[in-house]
Structure 1
Amino acid sequence: MNTADALPDDDIGIVLQTRSWVLRPTAIGLFLIVASVVGFLASFALAVEKYEKLEDPNAVLSCDLNPFFSCGSVMEYPESQLFGFPNQLLGIGAFIFPLLLGVLLMAGAKIPGWIMIGLNIGLALGTVLVMFLFYVSIYVIGVGCPWCMVVWTMTIPMFVAVSAHNVLAGNVGVRIAQNPIARVLAKENVALSVLWMLIITACIVVQFWTFFSTLF
């Protein structure tokens, strides 16, 4: 069942009148594919370097850029294995589902609303995790992980975009779909993603100002 099929006629009109890229299957499908592939490759690179670090604790990894940005340094802390195994394995598995949905959307498949809600829930959990790891990495450990930052940069916009899709398509209920504030926020999903990432970037710059000040 397609998203709009579950809505009354008046509400279908609201959905159809909405002009947003997140409601175009090809656009959001391509976005999910690109973001998932980039996130998967970053997670895979982290996994490879994690095992390299296990084989040789003194190994200098490709993402060990300087004392402020070093994947190897972050890997030495228990937070890099929150569930008893390397966090990057979560990313390798987690990016497969949005990648699959992106391919299906690009192929013109009709994706039921409940599946998009399931994707939204998964991305919400992923966003909570990456924000926690962002805080721990930047403010507790005091070292930034470059590959981790790539994962953050893919996960957060995907969460915002899929949330916007579900709001505008009525997957989370007619009341939310008709709510003016929810609709404005959903339509401005790109701006929200950019603002979110700018805040994260500002936090990193302020926290590591000793390093960034040497670049000017």
Structure 2
Amino acid sequence: MSATEVQAPRDRGFAIFTIILGAIGLFAAFELATEYMKTLQQPDYIANCELSVLVTCGPNMDSPQGSVFGFSNTILGLMAFVAPIAVGVAMLAGARFSAWFWWLYRAGLALGTFFIFWLFSHSVFTLGTLCPWCMVVWTVMIPLFFFTAFRPEARGYYKASPGLTKAFAAVNSWAWVLVLVSYLVIAAVAQFQLNWFAEFSR
């Protein structure tokens, strides 16, 4: 190993955390996909996420927002959540990724996070529903992004400049705050728009 290279820590905790979140997201996407296919096969089928007028996934799956790219968004979830699982498993095996990989991976997570916030806004303001399995996806995407966004430089996964490492380490220490704030914003917006607390307190 040359003097310019660094031996990044294996970071087992983060790897396991990433695998668990990816697996949860994959399961939620799988449930949405299977329920969507059942509704296509049986028009009178009641999906397992149809809990009430407010807490339901039917309107979301049938809406234009549910098929943004011309096919069900569930297919995106089935493909995308394989990535964090693969990254976590590779890290556990001792894999080290180049800088370009981490930037590309985080760009994908950023796009996914932007997408779920966009879907949340349409779910609340346009459709007036809270989709249970969609909320599971939102819940895992947010920490997947924020706990990964600044970590590679902060934890020395690859050789970065001292200034970038210091700056990212400072922001990375606040990742849990960013996750919590995101959850609170989603909960507050949903409450003010849909009064979900009254629905869940019945």
With the length of structure 1 as denominator, give the TM-score of the two structures.
0.83
Deviations 1:130-164, CA, capped at 9 Å, x for gaps:
11101011111111111011011111111101112
CA distance in 2, matches of 1:111, 1:127: 22
Alignment RMSD: 2.3
Code of the residue aligned with 2:190 in structure 1: it is I
CA distance in 2, matches of 1:27, 1:47: 30
CA distance in 2, matches of 1:172, 1:89: 35
Counterpart of 2:49 in 1: which secondary structure?
coil
2:163 pairs with 1:178: no
CA distance in 2, matches of 1:154, 1:192: 13
Instruction: Please show how residues 51-62 of structure 1 align to structure 2 within 5 Å.
Output: 51-62=37-48
Structure 1 residue 70 displacement after superposition: 0.5
Name the residue aligned to 1:213. Answer: 198
Tell whether the 8 Å contact from 2:10 to 2:92 is kept in structure 1 after alignment.
no
CA distance in 1, matches of 2:131, 2:93: 35
Structure 1 residue 41 displacement after superposition: 0.4
Tell whether the 8 Å contact from 2:10 to 2:91 is kept in structure 1 after alignment.
no
CA distance in 2, matches of 1:137, 1:173: 40
CA distance in 2, matches of 1:72, 1:90: 18
Which of 60, 64, 68 aligns to 1:74? It is 60
Instruction: Please show how residues 1-216 of structure 1 align to structure 2 within 5 Å.
Output: 5=5, 25-169=11-155, 173-174=160-161, 175-179=163-167, 182-209=168-195, 211-213=196-198, 215=201
Tell whether the 8 Å contact from 1:42 to 1:148 is kept in structure 2 after alignment.
yes
Give 5+ residue unaligned stretches, structure 2: none
CA distance in 1, matches of 2:101, 2:143: 19
Report how many aligned residue pairs link the two structures.
197
Counterpart of 2:150 in 1: which secondary structure?
helix
CA distance in 1, matches of 2:15, 2:197: 37
Structure 1 residue 24 displacement after superposition: 5.5
Tell whether the 8 Å contact from 2:49 to 2:56 is kept in structure 1 after alignment.
yes
Deviations 1:51-83, CA, capped at 9 Å, x for gaps:
111112222110011000101121121110000
Code of the residue aligned with 1:97 in structure 2: it is A
CA distance in 2, matches of 1:173, 1:200: 34
Code of the residue aligned with 1:81 in structure 2: it is S
The structure whose residues are more often helix, as a share, is: 1
Counterpart of 1:136 in 2: which secondary structure?
helix
CA distance in 2, matches of 1:197, 1:37: 20
Code of the residue aligned with 2:197 in structure 1: it is F
Instruction: Summarize the Cα distance change of 1:172–1:140 in structure 2 as closer, same or farther, 3 Å threshold.
Output: farther
Give 5+ residue unaligned stretches, structure 1: 7-11, 17-22
Tell whether the 8 Å contact from 1:167 to 1:186 is kept in structure 2 after alignment.
no
CA distance in 2, matches of 1:111, 1:131: 28
Name the residue aligned to 1:20. Answer: none
CA distance in 2, matches of 1:103, 1:64: 34
With the length of structure 2 as denominator, give the TM-score of the two structures.
0.88
Tell whether the 8 Å contact from 2:155 to 2:169 is kept in structure 1 after alignment.
no
CA distance in 2, matches of 1:198, 1:60: 31
CA distance in 2, matches of 1:147, 1:54: 18
CA distance in 2, matches of 1:162, 1:24: 14
